Amino acid sequence: MKSFVTGAAVTLGLLLAPLAGSTLASAAPAPDSSTSPAAHQPTTEARQHDITKAGEAFMGWRQPTTAAGPAVMSTTASVEGIDVSSHQGNVDWAAQWNAGKRFAYSKATEGNYYSNPYFAQQYNGSYNVGMIRGAYHFATPNDSSGANQANYFVDRGGAWSRDGRTLPGALDIEYNPYGATCYGLSASSMVSWIRDFLNTYKSRTGRDAVIYTNLDWWSRCTGNSTAFNSTNPLWVARYASAPGTLPGGWPFHTIWQYSSTPIDQDRFNGDQTRLVALANG
């Protein structure tokens, strides 16, 4: 979601204090020049969603177009969260905490050419207010290998620490805002690219990354691959009253992005203790 609505801040004395000794993000290093952002021209549809230049892609920028399947049963307990990108700028994290949000993912990188200039404020700010936080990478598989983009992500905010407050990084793999829906890759090549990213991320951090996607894109572009459903938590996007049929044979979802109003809304499939367990690995 592009716009962000702020609310009244709460006093820091009422907030959950961050754990001592955790490492917070500093300003991201300058993007490398291995792929020029100028080579990425947003499609007409992407421009209608306020993606006007390379780097501005965000989770769920385009909603799935196929009909949704039946609801998938989930646990009764849940935890509310949000995800943000450069479109939100400097976020009023106290207001989000006051609104009941207890976890947040911030976009760190895109492709191998872009770092979110607001990442430090978003990633550190959510942590400082008491939330459990994580970082995500918007993949552009036609630009470079999965390993290249995983390293780019880890080096610019996507690393993980066992502090009980940092979630594993997320791979945002979805519709291409700059061209062909599946980035010009066959289903088998896409699965290989994803595997390359995930294997590299795990070798760098010791964690299995979360996969963010939706049923329509995953079915079209990976052949509805079941290669990752036993290792990588699923973050499914579906703006409806239930998560619906899950892609890739995942038996359950871990996070559900269910709305983009007034900002991307997410729900963790479990209680706070399970969310902490995911952070701890």
pLDDT in tens, 220-250: 999 999 999 999 999 999 999 999 999 999 9
CB 161 within 8 A of CB 113: no
What pLDDT digit, counting tens, does each position of 134-150 carry?
Answer: 999 999 999 999 999 99
pLDDT of residue 208: 98
Tokens representing 30 are 């300058």
CA–CA gap between residue 35 and residue 39 (Å, rounded): 8
What pLDDT digit, counting tens, does each position of 39-84 carry?
Answer: 788 888 888 777 887 887 777 768 764 444 444 445 579 999 999 9
pLDDT of residue 43: 86
CA–CA gap between residue 251 and residue 267 (Å, rounded): 17
pLDDT of residue 167: 98
What pLDDT digit, counting tens, does each position of 100-114 carry?
Answer: 999 999 999 999 999
Q: Which residues are catalytic?
A: 83, 172, 174
Residues 6+ away with beta carbon under 8 Å from 111: 35, 40, 54, 138, 139, 140, 143, 144, 149, 152
What pLDDT digit, counting tens, does each position of 178-189 carry?
Answer: 999 999 999 999
CA–CA gap between residue 279 and residue 227 (Å, rounded): 23
pLDDT of residue 199: 98
pLDDT of residue 12: 28
What percentage of the chain carries pLDDT values higher than 70? 82
What pLDDT digit, counting tens, does each position of 252-281 carry?
Answer: 999 999 999 999 999 999 999 999 999 999
Closest by CA position to 81, among listed 128, 129, 131:
131
- Sequence letter at residue 8: A
pLDDT of residue 68: 46
Mean pLDDT (the chain) is: 86
Residue scoring higher pLDDT (159 or 4): 159
Closest by CA position to 59, among listed 27, 31, 39, 81:
81
Q: Is the pLDDT of residue 9 over 60?
A: no
- Cα angle 268, 272, 278; round to 5: 70
What percentage of the chain carries pLDDT values higher than 90? 72
Burial per residue of 30-49, b for 16 or more beta-carbon CB atoms within 10 angstroms, e otherwise? ebeeebeeeebebbeebeeb
Q: Tally the residues of the chain.
A: 281
pTM strictly above 0.75: yes
pLDDT of residue 71: 45
